[in-house]
Chain A
Amino acid sequence: MKEIFAKHPLGAAIALLPVWIFLYLILQHIADGLVALSGLMQGERFTEALRFFIFEVPKVLLLLTLIVFIVGIIRSYFSPERTRKMLGGKKLFAGNVLASLLGVVTPFCSCSAIPLFLGFVESGIPLGVTFSFLIAAPMINEVALVLLFGLFGWQTALLYMSTGLIIAMVSGYIIGILKLEKHVEPWVYEVKAGHLEMGEDKIQFAQRISAGVDAVREIVSKVWIYIVIGIAVGAGIHGYVPENFMAGIMGKGAWWSVPVAVLIGVPMYSNAAGIIPVVQALLEKGASLGTVLAFMMSVIGLSLPETIILRKVLKLRLIFIFVGIVATGIIIVGYIFNAVY
């Protein structure tokens, strides 16, 4: 497989697509067939939990493979250098909008947050615009979107993405007009960054395909285990927790549920792969969409390790302001969705 992809990346990708579609279409039948074969009683709790598990795990993994592959190709068109160039000289709000959108497509890993922050600030990109990027990049990632699409449907995935973008734009804009530059560690402004010369325009399409393959190898090998565990827990909730169990705690009626969900979510660190299947099961048991959305955003978008990393370049006060503004945005989104749905 590896060799075929190395020699004929485009051909291999095109040839695999029908296989993918076929597998995706017959999954439900395979899951039902396996459950029937097992001789377990239909409708029993354990049977339903098992059915859920053996259907959802391969489904989500298939979706993940396809989307990560496509996103890997898209990302090969965007580098942090190019993004930085596009953001240069942009005025406040327009810069925030563009930075948030670019945050979604530019390759980003929270371990690179510092060099990226330094590179942006050093080249004169306003602090608020830099923040818009740093908020959108981890919050709206392909793993989260795949899981939302696979387990909740495209409406929720789209909702998550658009509200996440709005939070990134507005939070960055507010940080921008608050003029918080003095709360950045002084050494940041003394950094003299060199100029990187790398021929990135001459990439051929075959290389972009292999960038997609690399992305699949890297991301899927890292997150599959969380997906399996997350869906297993979700399947347990699905089969065993009574209907409407969550309504009292995370339902619409409980006004405090949104801020509490965010308070619990911010220090919690889990990747999207582990948390979303659990949250999906909770939604089914009577939790309300706004609360669930707020919880997910605070877990995925605001993570403790990333804020600790950012402490190297930001004074504590700015970190609190940053977390405070984003958390407030998430709470507002949670309330709006609880009111609308």
Chain B
Amino acid sequence: MMSVKILGSGCSKCKTLEQRVRQLAEQHKLPIEIEKVSDLQEIMKYGIMMTPGLVVNGVVKSVGSIPKDEQLLAWMEGTSL
């Protein structure tokens, strides 16, 4: 199963990104596992220096920004690298 992680502690962008991802997954009935990671040591393992980070199947896809819905969806469906 595909796994999506949102890396970020309290920032507002992080919350927005998590909401978007959850909404999209629900709308398109995607069977993916969504996890919010807020532990700093855990976040740092991905080597990012800006939050939120988006990780799909262990690979960092975006850092410090909220990607557009189409892009998010493509990653979550596995149609885009």
Interface, chain A (partner B; CB < 8 A): 80-81, 84, 107, 109, 111-112, 114-116, 118-120, 122, 187, 190-198, 214, 312
Which of the residues B10, B46, B50 comes within 8 Å of A194, measured between beta carbons? B46
Given A191-B41, A194-B47, A196-B47, list of 18 further CB < 8 A pairs?
Answer: A81-B49, A84-B49, A109-B11, A109-B50, A111-B13, A115-B40, A115-B49, A115-B50, A118-B44, A118-B49, A119-B44, A119-B48, A119-B49, A193-B44, A194-B44, A195-B47, A196-B63, A198-B63
Report if A80-B50 is in contact (Cβ < 8 Å); known contacts: A111-B10, A114-B9, A196-B60. Answer: yes
Between A and B, 29 residue pairs with Cβ closer than 8 Å are A80-B49, A80-B50, A81-B49, A84-B49, A107-B50, A107-B64, A109-B64, A111-B10, A111-B12, A114-B9, A115-B48, A115-B51, A116-B49, A118-B40, A118-B49, A119-B44, A119-B47, A119-B48, A119-B49, A122-B44, A187-B41, A190-B41, A191-B40, A191-B41, A192-B45, A194-B45, A194-B47, A197-B60, A198-B63
Q: How large is the interface on B (under 10, 10 to 19, 20 to 34, 35 or more residues)?
A: 20 to 34
CA distance A120 to B50 in the complex (A): 12
CB distance from A312 to the nearest CB of B (A): 7
Question: For B65, what are the chain A residues with a Cβ–Cβ distance below 8 Å?
Answer: 214
Report if A196-B44 is in contact (Cβ < 8 Å); known contacts: A111-B51, A112-B51, A114-B9. Answer: no
CB distance from B62 to the nearest CB of A (A): 9
CA distance A114 to B10 in the complex (A): 11
Question: For B48, what are the chain A residues with a Cβ–Cβ distance below 8 Å?
Answer: 115, 119, 196
CB distance from A254 to the nearest CB of B (A): 40
Majority secondary structure of chain B interface residues (helix, strand, loop or mixed): loop
Closest to B43 in A: A115
CB distance from A203 to the nearest CB of B (A): 13
Q: Are the C-beta atoms of A112 and B40 separated by less than 8 Å?
A: no
| Proximity bits, B33-59, A CB within 8 Å = 1, else 0 | 000000011011111111100000000
CB distance from A102 to the nearest CB of B (A): 13
CB distance from B77 to the nearest CB of A (A): 21
Interface residues of B in 3-26 (CB under 8 A from A): 9-14
Closest to B46 in A: A194
Closest to A193 in B: B44
CB distance from B69 to the nearest CB of A (A): 13
Closest to A313 in B: B40
Question: For A114, what are the chain B residues with a Cβ–Cβ distance below 8 Å?
Answer: 9, 40
CB distance from A60 to the nearest CB of B (A): 24
Q: Are the C-beta atoms of B44 and A115 separated by less than 8 Å?
A: yes
* Residue from A114, A115, A120, A198 having most chain B Cβ neighbours under 10 A: A115
Question: For A81, what are the chain B residues with a Cβ–Cβ distance below 8 Å?
Answer: 49
Closest to B59 in A: A197
Question: For A80, what are the chain B residues with a Cβ–Cβ distance below 8 Å?
Answer: 49-50
Interface residues of B in 63-79 (CB under 8 A from A): 63-65
CA distance A159 to B50 in the complex (A): 30
Report if A312-B51 is in contact (Cβ < 8 Å); known contacts: A111-B13, A194-B46. Answer: no
Q: Are the C-beta atoms of A196 and B46 separated by less than 8 Å?
A: yes
Question: For A198, what are the chain B residues with a Cβ–Cβ distance below 8 Å?
Answer: 60, 63
CA distance A193 to B60 in the complex (A): 13
Q: Are the C-beta atoms of B50 and A112 separated by less than 8 Å?
A: yes
Q: Are the C-beta atoms of A116 and B50 separated by less than 8 Å?
A: yes
Q: Are the C-beta atoms of A312 and B63 separated by less than 8 Å?
A: no
CA distance A195 to B48 in the complex (A): 8
Question: For B47, what are the chain A residues with a Cβ–Cβ distance below 8 Å?
Answer: 119, 193-196
Closest to A118 in B: B44
Closest to B61 in A: A198
